[in-house]
Amino acid sequence: NAGVTQTPKFQVLKTGQSMTLQCAQDMNHEYMSWYRQDPGMGLRLIHYSVGAGITDQGEVPNGYNVSRSTTEDFPLRLLSAAPSQTSVYFCASSYGNRGRRELFFGEGSRLTVL
């Protein structure tokens, strides 16, 4: 049981490049989300999905796109990377987003934009 798997673990981009952070979960969770973690800022929600075909914006969505074509996968796309997007990105999933709902996080993807 792999849980939540993120790839790549590390990535260096140049300003203006695009890339996709991959996230997959094998727990049949309905809810998936992406957070970014910056020093002293905690975890901030970028986008989330409550099921296949349904996505919505979180606290800091600008510069990122997501899609949810299957229950298992929730990729995060950076269309034109900027230095402000240098961060550690965590994908998370849970059974739902109501009631007691434990978030299961991936190992994180450290992105540096030069």
Partner 1 sequence: GENVEQHPSTLSVQEGDSAVIKCTYSDSASNYFPWYKQELGKRPQLIIDIRSNVGEKKDQRIAVTLNKTAKHFSLHITETQPEDSAVYFCAAPVNYGGSQGNLIFGKGTKLSVKP
Q: What is the largest CA-CA distance in the chain?
A: 41
Chain residues 95-114 in contact with partner 1, contact rule CB under 8 A: 96-103, 105-108
Interface region with partner 1, contact rule CB under 8 A, candidates 10-18, 22-30, 71-79, 94-102:
94-102
CB of 16 to partner 1, least distance (A): 29
Q: Which residues of 29-42 are buried (b: 16+ CB within 10 A; e: fewer)?
A: bbbbbbbbeeeeee
d(CA 112, CA 12): 5
Say whether residue 58 binds partner 1 (CB under 8 A): yes
- Region for residue 30 given its phi and psi (left: phi exceeds 0; alpha: psi -120 to 50; beta: otherwise): alpha
Binding test (CB under 8 A) with partner 1, winner from 1, 10, 42, 62: 42
40 binds partner 1 (CB under 8 A): yes
Number of residues lying near partner 1 (CB under 8 A): 27
**83 — phi, psi (to 5°)?**
-55, -30
Q: How far is the CB of 39 from partner 1 (least distance, A)?
A: 9
Binding positions for partner 1, rule: CB under 8 A: 33, 35, 40-45, 48, 50, 56-59, 90, 96-103, 105-108
